[in-house]
Amino acid sequence: MSNSIKVLAKMDSFEHEQVIFCQDKDTGLKAIIAIHDTTLGPALGGTRMWDYENEEEALEDVLRLSRGMTFKAAISGLELGGGKAVIIGDATKHKTKNLMKKFGKFVDTLSGKYITAEDVGMSTKDMEYVRMETKHVTGIPKSMGGSGDPSPVTAYGVFMGIKASSKFLWGDDNLKDKKILVQGIGHVGEYLVKYLSDEKANVFISDINQTKLDNVASKYDATIIDNDSVFDFDMDIYAPCALGGILNTSNINKLKCSIVCGGANNQFEDETRDSLHLKEKGIVFAPDFLVNSGGLINVYSELKGYNRDKALEQTKEIYNTTLDILKKSKEEGITSYSAALKIAKNRIEAKKL
């Protein structure tokens, strides 16, 4: 009894609509699906498989991530709500075809109120297994009528965010000769490097994977920076495209750039404290949940009958939205992070009227 009260109290504090706990003895599936808010449309968000220490950690993660999806969809002008699912377990050991199919069956019981997609610990193949049991899944391969890898579209959105931030700060969005560091040159980072090189920016890259670094450096004429000296490096724009939680008090103190705009999710260790710290240092921050929403826009387009050009056109709007948010932040003397959240929340409230 006390556990259920705790879950409801957590749902209350995050403002969730519904949380579904799924358990299957035969496959060992243990999953939680969180539906945060469906005011704007069905709750869409990926499924993450992770070896959580305990159920509480899994619940905390799915609640936090699904809430983030609500605001990402709202700020991007999509008719979508926010949701997310987590499967508890080590993806390299516990994931099987039958487990994924069983998960798909649970998703199907929600009749489209929750739509799933790929996230950490998932592959396109896993989404194919889910697709065998439910049509409420996106990000499936092009061969199955899906939209395929969303990363190029995500990178395009980040590129739009960088250009808008430059326009806001310097009155010009031309990136020629701007010193830009892309940290993390995986799926999103490498496509971003390509956009920046095409624009003749002065591109620097860092990663923990030397093979990738050598490969991208030779393909795009980018200069490699030691990953440990990123915060000692003098640059115009810093584009974090690796993992989340990269920015904290100690490295923001050292950071030498004018703009932070990158594809990584949840870049701050503490959103309120660290976004304020950047503002106080006079560094322009393009909110991550806005500029990396190209991937979501891409899967959203899949729901309407996929059209790559339309997805890119809608992603291009990230430019105008970023500019609006940066202006609002300046006018109201608030962080760009708060300005973006305000706009997202207003859109949801307006729909309720």
Q: Which residues bind ligand NAD (CB under 6 A)?
A: 150-151, 154, 183-189, 206-209, 212, 227, 241-244, 263-265, 292, 295
Residue 111 CB, nearest approach to ligand NAD (Å): 27
Q: Which two tokens stand for residue 306?
A: 């996929």
Nearest Cα to 21, choosing from 11, 12, 13, 68?
Answer: 11
Instruction: Give me the least distance between CB of 267 and ligand NAD, in Å please.
Output: 8
Q: How many residues does the chain have?
A: 353
Contacts of 141 (CB under 8 A, 6+ apart): 124, 128, 148
The residues facing 202 across adjacent strands are 179
What's the rounded Cα separation, in Å, for the pair 134 and 144? Answer: 14
27 vs 248 by CB, closer to ligand NAD: 248
Q: Please list, residue by residue across 138-168, b when 16 or more beta carbons sit within 10 angstroms of its beta carbon and e when fewer do.
A: bbbeeeeebbbbbbbbbbbbbbbbbbbbbbb
CB atoms within 10 A of CB 310: 14
Catalytic residue list contains 84: yes
Minimum gap (Å) between residue 262 Cβ and ligand NAD? 8
Nearer to ligand NAD, 28 or 245 (CB): 245
Nearer to ligand NAD, 110 or 341 (CB): 341
| Candidate list 84, 178, 179, 194, residue with the active-site label | 84
C-beta of 210 vs 249, nearer to ligand NAD? 210
What is the C-alpha radius of gyration for the chain, rounded to an integer number of angstroms?
20
Q: Side by side, which strands form the sheet with 259-260?
A: 223-224, 202-206, 179-183, 237-240, 259-260, 284-285
- Least distance (Å) from ligand NAD to the CB of residue 288? 8
Residue with tokens 């075809």: 97
Task: Report in angstroms how near the CB of residue 264 gets to ligand NAD at its nearest.
Answer: 4
Distance CA(262)–CA(241), nearest Å, equals 5
Nearer to ligand NAD, 137 or 242 (CB): 242
Minimum CB separation of residue 292 from ligand NAD in Å reads 4
**CB-based contact 82:68 (threshold 8 Å):** yes
Q: Which of 124, 121, 120, 184 is nearest to 158 (CA)?
A: 184
Q: Which of 37/207 has CB closer to ligand NAD?
A: 207
Catalytic site positions? 84
